[in-house]
Protein backbone atom coordinates (compact mmCIF):
# COMPACT_ATOMS: atom_id res chain seq x y z
CA UNK A 1 0.00 0.00 0.00
CA UNK A 2 1.27 3.48 -0.89
CA UNK A 3 2.27 5.51 2.14
CA UNK A 4 0.39 8.77 2.53
CA UNK A 5 2.26 11.82 3.80
CA UNK A 6 1.21 15.44 4.41
CA UNK A 7 3.65 18.35 4.13
CA UNK A 8 2.47 21.55 5.77
CA UNK A 9 4.26 24.63 4.45
CA UNK A 10 5.47 24.95 0.88
CA UNK A 11 8.62 27.02 1.35
CA UNK A 12 12.17 25.88 0.71
CA UNK A 13 12.23 23.19 3.41
CA UNK A 14 8.66 22.08 2.74
CA UNK A 15 9.37 21.58 -0.97
CA UNK A 16 12.56 19.68 -0.20
CA UNK A 17 10.68 17.37 2.18
CA UNK A 18 8.00 16.91 -0.47
CA UNK A 19 10.64 15.67 -2.90
CA UNK A 20 12.18 13.37 -0.27
CA UNK A 21 8.85 11.61 0.26
CA UNK A 22 7.70 11.68 -3.36
CA UNK A 23 10.83 10.15 -4.84
CA UNK A 24 10.54 7.36 -2.26
CA UNK A 25 7.14 6.49 -3.75
CA UNK A 26 4.93 8.08 -1.10
CA UNK A 27 1.68 9.85 -1.93
CA UNK A 28 2.36 13.41 -0.79
CA UNK A 29 -0.20 16.09 -0.05
CA UNK A 30 1.27 19.57 0.14
CA UNK A 31 -0.54 22.54 1.66
CA UNK A 32 0.51 26.11 2.33
CA UNK A 33 -1.74 28.89 3.66
CA UNK A 34 -0.53 31.21 0.87
CA UNK A 35 -2.47 30.66 -2.37
CA UNK A 36 0.44 32.02 -4.43
CA UNK A 37 2.79 29.43 -2.91
CA UNK A 38 0.31 26.68 -3.72
CA UNK A 39 -0.11 27.93 -7.30
CA UNK A 40 3.64 27.80 -8.01
CA UNK A 41 4.54 24.73 -5.92
CA UNK A 42 4.65 22.16 -8.74
CA UNK A 43 6.78 24.43 -10.94
CA UNK A 44 9.13 25.03 -8.02
CA UNK A 45 9.36 21.28 -7.39
CA UNK A 46 10.19 20.67 -11.05
CA UNK A 47 13.01 23.23 -10.81
CA UNK A 48 14.27 21.57 -7.62
CA UNK A 49 14.37 18.23 -9.45
CA UNK A 50 16.28 19.81 -12.32
CA UNK A 51 18.89 21.28 -10.00
CA UNK A 52 19.37 18.12 -7.93
CA UNK A 53 19.20 15.64 -10.81
CA UNK A 54 16.13 13.90 -9.40
CA UNK A 55 13.61 12.23 -11.70
CA UNK A 56 10.85 14.83 -12.28
CA UNK A 57 8.30 12.05 -12.73
CA UNK A 58 8.22 11.75 -8.93
CA UNK A 59 6.24 15.01 -8.86
CA UNK A 60 3.25 12.98 -10.08
CA UNK A 61 3.10 11.67 -6.50
CA UNK A 62 2.32 15.18 -5.21
CA UNK A 63 -1.12 16.73 -4.76
CA UNK A 64 -1.46 20.41 -3.89
CA UNK A 65 -4.33 20.78 -1.42
CA UNK A 66 -6.55 23.82 -0.95
CA UNK A 67 -6.89 23.37 2.83
CA UNK A 68 -5.13 21.71 5.73
CA UNK A 69 -7.96 19.32 6.51
CA UNK A 70 -7.76 17.74 3.05
CA UNK A 71 -3.98 17.51 3.22
CA UNK A 72 -3.88 15.62 6.52
CA UNK A 73 -6.90 13.35 5.99
CA UNK A 74 -5.88 9.74 6.77
CA UNK A 75 -2.12 10.31 6.47
CA UNK A 76 0.42 8.43 8.56
CA UNK A 77 2.88 11.32 8.89
CA UNK A 78 2.65 15.12 8.86
CA UNK A 79 5.83 17.10 8.25
CA UNK A 80 5.20 20.66 9.46
CA UNK A 81 7.37 23.51 8.17
CA UNK A 82 5.76 26.62 9.61
CA UNK A 83 7.49 29.76 10.92
CA UNK A 84 9.79 29.51 13.95
CA UNK A 85 7.32 31.44 16.09
CA UNK A 86 5.91 29.73 19.15
CA UNK A 87 2.37 31.11 18.97
CA UNK A 88 2.04 30.12 15.31
CA UNK A 89 3.39 26.66 16.06
CA UNK A 90 0.89 26.24 18.89
CA UNK A 91 -1.97 27.22 16.60
CA UNK A 92 -0.82 24.81 13.90
CA UNK A 93 -0.45 21.87 16.28
CA UNK A 94 -3.76 22.48 17.99
CA UNK A 95 -5.35 22.29 14.53
CA UNK A 96 -3.33 19.24 13.50
CA UNK A 97 -4.19 17.47 16.73
CA UNK A 98 -7.87 18.12 16.04
CA UNK A 99 -7.82 17.11 12.38
CA UNK A 100 -5.70 13.95 12.47
CA UNK A 101 -6.27 10.45 13.77
CA UNK A 102 -4.61 9.04 16.86
CA UNK A 103 -2.08 7.05 14.81
CA UNK A 104 -0.87 9.98 12.70
CA UNK A 105 2.60 11.19 13.68
CA UNK A 106 3.06 14.97 13.78
CA UNK A 107 6.64 16.01 13.10
CA UNK A 108 8.09 19.51 13.06
CA UNK A 109 11.05 20.67 10.98
CA UNK A 110 11.78 23.21 13.74
CA UNK A 111 15.43 24.06 14.30
CA UNK A 112 14.84 26.31 17.31
CA UNK A 113 11.77 25.09 19.21
CA UNK A 114 11.52 21.80 21.09
CA UNK A 115 8.28 19.83 20.87
CA UNK A 116 7.19 20.35 24.48
CA UNK A 117 6.78 24.08 23.83
CA UNK A 118 4.06 23.64 21.18
CA UNK A 119 2.65 20.22 22.20
CA UNK A 120 1.88 21.14 25.81
CA UNK A 121 -1.70 20.41 26.78
CA UNK A 122 -2.65 18.67 23.53
CA UNK A 123 -4.43 15.33 23.69
CA UNK A 124 -2.12 13.92 21.01
CA UNK A 125 1.19 15.12 22.42
CA UNK A 126 2.45 11.51 22.61
CA UNK A 127 2.62 11.49 18.79
CA UNK A 128 4.43 14.82 18.38
CA UNK A 129 8.18 15.16 17.87
CA UNK A 130 10.75 17.27 16.07
CA UNK A 131 12.24 15.86 12.86
CA UNK A 132 14.91 18.49 12.28
CA UNK A 133 16.53 18.32 8.84
CA UNK A 134 19.62 20.01 7.50
CA UNK A 135 18.97 22.53 4.75
CA UNK A 136 18.21 21.24 2.16
CA UNK A 137 16.98 17.77 3.21
CA UNK A 138 16.61 16.40 -0.32
CA UNK A 139 20.39 16.50 -0.76
CA UNK A 140 21.61 16.30 2.88
CA UNK A 141 19.96 13.24 4.41
CA UNK A 142 20.54 13.53 8.17
CA UNK A 143 17.40 14.11 10.28
CA UNK A 144 17.50 14.66 14.04
CA UNK A 145 14.55 12.96 15.74
CA UNK A 146 14.01 14.74 19.04
CA UNK A 147 11.17 13.57 21.31
CA UNK A 148 9.23 15.69 23.72
CA UNK A 149 8.84 14.45 27.30
CA UNK A 150 5.48 12.90 26.33
CA UNK A 151 6.46 11.43 22.96
CA UNK A 152 5.76 7.69 22.94
CA UNK A 153 8.69 5.32 22.27
CA UNK A 154 6.56 3.57 19.65
CA UNK A 155 6.22 6.88 17.82
CA UNK A 156 10.00 7.29 17.82
CA UNK A 157 10.39 3.75 16.48
CA UNK A 158 7.98 4.50 13.64
CA UNK A 159 9.65 7.82 12.91
CA UNK A 160 13.07 6.22 12.69
CA UNK A 161 11.77 3.46 10.41
CA UNK A 162 10.01 5.91 8.08
CA UNK A 163 13.07 8.10 7.74
CA UNK A 164 15.16 5.08 6.74
CA UNK A 165 12.47 4.00 4.28
CA UNK A 166 12.64 7.37 2.50
CA UNK A 167 16.47 7.24 2.33
CA UNK A 168 17.16 9.74 5.10
CA UNK A 169 19.65 9.15 7.93
CA UNK A 170 17.81 9.42 11.27
CA UNK A 171 19.69 10.43 14.41
CA UNK A 172 17.57 9.53 17.41
CA UNK A 173 17.97 11.75 20.46
CA UNK A 174 16.96 10.43 23.87
CA UNK A 175 15.50 13.68 25.21
CA UNK A 176 14.98 17.36 24.44
CA UNK A 177 17.96 19.68 24.34
CA UNK A 178 18.15 23.25 23.08
CA UNK A 179 19.55 23.35 19.54
CA UNK A 180 19.44 19.55 19.24
CA UNK A 181 22.85 18.06 18.31
CA UNK A 182 23.76 19.58 14.95
CA UNK A 183 23.17 23.21 15.90
CA UNK A 184 25.02 22.83 19.19
CA UNK A 185 28.05 21.51 17.30
CA UNK A 186 27.69 24.20 14.65
CA UNK A 187 27.47 26.94 17.28
CA UNK A 188 30.77 25.92 18.85
CA UNK A 189 32.59 25.77 15.50
CA UNK A 190 31.12 29.12 14.41
CA UNK A 191 32.06 30.84 17.66
CA UNK A 192 35.71 29.85 17.45
CA UNK A 193 35.78 30.59 13.72
CA UNK A 194 34.46 34.13 14.21
CA UNK A 195 36.88 34.77 17.06
CA UNK A 196 39.88 33.64 14.98
CA UNK A 197 38.75 35.85 12.09
CA UNK A 198 38.03 38.94 14.20
CA UNK A 199 41.41 38.68 15.92
CA UNK A 200 43.10 38.62 12.50
CA UNK A 201 44.59 35.17 12.98
CA UNK A 202 43.04 33.88 9.75
CA UNK A 203 40.99 35.30 6.91
CA UNK A 204 37.43 34.14 6.23
CA UNK A 205 38.69 32.30 3.13
CA UNK A 206 41.48 30.68 5.11
CA UNK A 207 39.02 29.56 7.76
CA UNK A 208 36.70 28.06 5.14
CA UNK A 209 39.63 26.34 3.43
CA UNK A 210 40.64 24.79 6.75
CA UNK A 211 37.22 23.20 7.05
CA UNK A 212 36.52 22.38 3.37
CA UNK A 213 39.94 20.93 2.57
CA UNK A 214 40.80 19.67 6.05
CA UNK A 215 38.27 18.71 8.68
CA UNK A 216 35.29 18.78 6.31
CA UNK A 217 36.89 16.51 3.74
CA UNK A 218 37.66 13.94 6.39
CA UNK A 219 34.26 14.34 8.06
CA UNK A 220 32.52 13.59 4.75
CA UNK A 221 33.58 9.98 5.28
CA UNK A 222 33.99 9.73 9.05
CA UNK A 223 32.53 11.68 11.95
CA UNK A 224 34.82 13.11 14.66
CA UNK A 225 34.52 10.06 16.91
CA UNK A 226 35.43 7.63 14.13
CA UNK A 227 38.19 10.05 13.06
CA UNK A 228 39.99 10.17 16.40
CA UNK A 229 39.68 6.39 16.64
CA UNK A 230 41.98 6.24 13.59
CA UNK A 231 44.34 9.02 14.70
CA UNK A 232 46.24 6.99 17.29
CA UNK A 233 47.59 3.41 17.03
CA UNK A 234 45.54 2.25 20.00
CA UNK A 235 42.25 3.84 18.94
CA UNK A 236 40.15 6.38 20.77
CA UNK A 237 41.46 5.64 24.28
CA UNK A 238 45.02 6.00 23.07
CA UNK A 239 44.11 9.25 21.27
CA UNK A 240 42.56 10.77 24.39
CA UNK A 241 45.50 9.66 26.49
CA UNK A 242 47.96 11.29 24.07
CA UNK A 243 46.04 14.40 23.04
CA UNK A 244 43.26 14.77 25.60
CA UNK A 245 45.13 17.31 27.80
CA UNK A 246 45.98 19.49 24.77
CA UNK A 247 42.43 19.34 23.43
CA UNK A 248 41.08 20.15 26.89
CA UNK A 249 43.34 23.23 27.11
CA UNK A 250 42.25 24.44 23.68
CA UNK A 251 38.61 23.78 24.49
CA UNK A 252 38.83 25.69 27.76
CA UNK A 253 40.19 28.73 25.92
CA UNK A 254 37.78 28.52 22.97
CA UNK A 255 35.36 31.32 22.14
CA UNK A 256 31.74 31.24 23.21
CA UNK A 257 28.80 33.59 22.79
CA UNK A 258 30.95 36.70 22.92
CA UNK A 259 32.36 35.80 19.48
CA UNK A 260 29.13 36.64 17.65
CA UNK A 261 29.89 40.34 17.18
CA UNK A 262 28.93 42.96 14.63
CA UNK A 263 32.62 43.51 13.88
CA UNK A 264 33.09 39.82 13.04
CA UNK A 265 30.04 39.95 10.79
CA UNK A 266 31.43 42.97 8.94
CA UNK A 267 34.81 41.31 8.35
CA UNK A 268 33.26 38.10 7.02
CA UNK A 269 30.68 39.94 4.89
CA UNK A 270 33.40 42.01 3.24
CA UNK A 271 35.22 38.84 2.21
CA UNK A 272 32.23 36.91 0.84
CA UNK A 273 29.97 37.33 -2.22
CA UNK A 274 27.23 39.95 -1.99
CA UNK A 275 23.74 39.00 -0.77
CA UNK A 276 22.48 39.41 -4.34
CA UNK A 277 24.45 36.30 -5.26
CA UNK A 278 23.15 34.10 -2.45
CA UNK A 279 20.28 32.54 -4.38
CA UNK A 280 22.45 31.49 -7.32
CA UNK A 281 25.24 30.25 -5.05
CA UNK A 282 22.70 28.25 -3.05
CA UNK A 283 21.49 26.65 -6.27
CA UNK A 284 25.07 25.74 -7.22
CA UNK A 285 25.68 24.35 -3.73
CA UNK A 286 22.61 22.14 -3.89
CA UNK A 287 23.59 20.79 -7.31
CA UNK A 288 27.07 19.90 -6.08
CA UNK A 289 25.72 18.37 -2.88
CA UNK A 290 23.41 16.18 -4.95
CA UNK A 291 26.36 15.07 -7.09
CA UNK A 292 28.39 14.31 -3.97
CA UNK A 293 25.49 12.32 -2.52
CA UNK A 294 25.23 10.20 -5.66
CA UNK A 295 28.98 9.59 -5.65
CA UNK A 296 28.97 8.52 -2.00
CA UNK A 297 25.99 6.20 -2.54
CA UNK A 298 27.59 4.63 -5.62
CA UNK A 299 30.90 4.10 -3.80
CA UNK A 300 29.64 3.09 -0.36
Residues 143 and 256 in one domain: no
- For residue 135, what is the domain's CATH number? 3.40.50.720
Domain assignment present for residue 91? The answer is: yes
**pLDDT given at position 1:** 62
Residues 154 and 190 in one domain: no
Domain assignment present for residue 177? The answer is: no
Rounded to 5 degrees, φ, ψ at 112 are: -130, -20
Domain assignment present for residue 113? The answer is: yes
Helix axes 182-198, 262-271, angle to 10 degrees: 80
Domain assignment present for residue 11? The answer is: yes
Residues 159 and 259 in one domain: no
Which residue, 172, 206, 221, sits at the end of a domain?
Answer: 172
Which residue, 139, 172, 205, sits at the end of a domain?
Answer: 172
Residues 32 and 167 in one domain: yes
The model's pLDDT over 183-229, given as tens digits with 9 standing for 90+, comes to: 999 999 999 999 999 999 999 999 999 999 999 999 999 999 999 99
Flag whether pLDDT at 246 surpasses 70: yes
The whole-number average pLDDT for the span 12-36 is 97
Residues 117 and 148 in one domain: yes
**Please, which residues have CB within 8 angstroms of residue 42's CB and are 6 or more apart in sequence?**
59, 62, 64
Residues 103 and 76 in one domain: yes
Q: How many domains does the chain have?
A: 2
The whole-number average pLDDT for the span 234-257 is 97
The model's pLDDT over 70-116, given as tens digits with 9 standing for 90+, comes to: 999 999 999 999 999 999 999 999 999 999 999 999 999 999 999 99
Share of the chain above pLDDT 90, in %: 94
Confidence category of residue 2, pLDDT binned at 50, 70, 90: confident
Residues 67 and 140 in one domain: yes
Which residue, 123, 139, 172, sits at the end of a domain?
Answer: 172
Flag whether pLDDT at 150 surpasses 80: yes
Domain assignment present for residue 81? The answer is: yes
- For residue 212, what is the domain's CATH number? 1.10.1040.10
Residues 189 and 157 in one domain: no
Residues 197 and 229 in one domain: yes
**pLDDT given at position 299:** 86
**pLDDT given at position 165:** 97
Q: For residue 136, what are the domain limits?
A: 4-172
Omega into 130 within 30° of 0, i.e. cis?
Answer: no
Confidence category of residue 300, pLDDT binned at 50, 70, 90: confident
Residues 75 and 157 in one domain: yes
**pLDDT given at position 297:** 87
The whole-number average pLDDT for the span 258-279 is 95
Residues 293 and 241 in one domain: yes
Domain assignment present for residue 251? The answer is: yes
The model's pLDDT over 47-60, given as tens digits with 9 standing for 90+, comes to: 999 988 999 999 99
The whole-number average pLDDT for the span 145-160 is 98
Chain mean pLDDT for the chain: 96
Strands 77-80 and 62-64: unpaired
Residues 87 and 160 in one domain: yes
Amino acid sequence: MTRRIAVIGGGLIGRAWTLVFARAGCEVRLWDPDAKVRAHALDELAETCRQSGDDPSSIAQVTICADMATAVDRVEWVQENGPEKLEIKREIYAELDRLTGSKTILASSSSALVASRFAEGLAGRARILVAHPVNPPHVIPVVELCPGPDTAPEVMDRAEALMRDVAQVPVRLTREIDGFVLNRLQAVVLAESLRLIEEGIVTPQGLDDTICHGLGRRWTLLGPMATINLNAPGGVKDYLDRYGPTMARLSDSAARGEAFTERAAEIVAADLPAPSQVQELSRQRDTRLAELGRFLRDND
